Structure 1
């Protein structure tokens, strides 16, 4: 099996796959658009349920979350496909897990009845840990596992998972109230698909062809949000809510 070029993975000056950063940028933009609409609903400018009931906005939320997890799976292979770098892995894990804890704390004060106890960052952190277990599994088998994970809620839900400490699984039979919820079943599935396809792309030499040692200015601009996706995730909602609040005060 062809693995990723170790120079690409371990050397800071190695060519970067800008296409992945641009994909993250697109996911960031979609997230901001959705959350801006959600905030407008929160402030009463849109009808209740606009972003949460089945429809285009709810579809956008699902696709965006799936995109983040898919890209996290790709990133796991890109970073550690040539060999696990434990220091880098744990440093990144600590950042994501710490950010997830901040989101939980902030939303607990903002939405005490629907705070985020297992949102997208929590899911990415745990999926990254679980992904290590299948990092060396052949990509077709990872896709099979992804299918099993995706359909697990259809056949594995049980009252045994109704206790709060099992809610991260998504296999409980009770409804939960939270503004962001991506449990392992089924959300580990897009992560696994990203990991599997990253391995397949590596075998086909796609990453080498996509590597951009000297991207154009336009590509650098498009990729910039994707390179700082975690920071943007943490700050965009306070900024959006603040802007809408100010606008609300001005028009009253």
Structure 2
């Protein structure tokens, strides 16, 4: 049996929102480095190699993992379809904005399957795992992670590259295909289920203080912040470049 939901879901959600705030901070740090590289303030390739490349993957994985935890918290005891579709529509609309915006900004490298696309599709797939034991979900996550290393096909290049089993990687500035990026979503679903079974959410809930609510505010508005932060950062770096050079 799964333990009952904690009596104060608001406190529990503050913990998730605080985690999202931390992920947003990491995302902004990475994109600032990316923009500095793009404008020539850092050596070419700084943002896409070494530490910063690993950092970017860790930040993206944390967002998708938290989306999986949230999927379980919201629908683990039964899918609330109206709420699910409202959230899905917001994420899909945000993904469309990113695709259109990057198409005009970087037509040769536009984002056709970035992190928002990945979260939207992985959330749909994640629904199938909500009622399964955590062990099965974690096993599926392992398969999702390693599948691209085990099998690829040129038949899945081009329009089907978003599946992640391509032989030729598409040219795009942000790309998180289904495989392996379904893995952190499924891990989040499994962890959400395990934490609830062990009744961990009340123990993990921080005190509901004014400062923590303020710190959790970005996490509650992560989609909007994601959509606006990069244009703002690019504008700031461009302005700084114009003034200093």
The bucket for the TM-score relative to the shorter chain is: over 0.9
Counting only pairs closer than 5 Å after superposition, residues 39-50 of structure 1 correspond to structure 2 as 39-50=35-46
Alignment gaps of 5+ in structure 2: none
SS in 1 for 2:169: coil
TM-score (norm. length: structure 1): 0.93
Q: Separation in 1 of the partners of 2:81 and 2:7?
A: 17
Q: Are residues 1:250 and 2:243 paired?
A: yes
SS in 1 for 2:47: coil
User: What does residue 103 of structure 1 align with?
Assistant: 98
User: What does residue 93 of structure 1 align with?
Assistant: 88
Listed one character per residue, the Cα deviations across residues 44-95 of structure 1 (whole Å, up to 9, x for unaligned) are 1111111112x11001100000000100000000111121110000000000
Whether the 8 Å contact between 1:5 and 1:82 is mirrored in structure 2 is no
User: What does residue 2 of structure 1 align with?
Assistant: 2
Deviation of the 1:16 alpha carbon: 3.9
Q: Are residues 1:136 and 2:136 paired?
A: no
SS in 2 for 1:180: coil
RMSD: 1.5
TM-score (norm. length: structure 2): 0.96
Q: Separation in 2 of the partners of 1:52 and 1:4?
A: 44
Alignment gaps of 5+ in structure 1: none
Deviation of the 1:175 alpha carbon: 2.4
User: What does residue 162 of structure 1 align with?
Assistant: 157
Deviation of the 1:251 alpha carbon: 1.6
Q: Are residues 1:32 and 2:32 paired?
A: no
Whether the 8 Å contact between 1:17 and 1:210 is mirrored in structure 2 is no
Q: Separation in 1 of the partners of 2:123 and 2:96?
A: 16
Listed one character per residue, the Cα deviations across residues 162-202 of structure 1 (whole Å, up to 9, x for unaligned) are 131x1111101012211101001000001101110110000
Q: After the TM superposition, which parts of structure 1 deviate over 4 Å for at least 4 consecutive aligned residues?
A: 6-9
Q: Separation in 1 of the partners of 2:45 and 2:11?
A: 45
Q: Separation in 2 of the partners of 1:18 and 1:4?
A: 19
Q: Are residues 1:149 and 2:144 paired?
A: yes
Aligned residues: 245
Deviation of the 1:208 alpha carbon: 2.8
Listed one character per residue, the Cα deviations across residues 18-42 of structure 1 (whole Å, up to 9, x for unaligned) are 1111110110000000000000111
Listed one character per residue, the Cα deviations across residues 197-251 of structure 1 (whole Å, up to 9, x for unaligned) are 1100000001133345x61122112211111110110000110011111111212
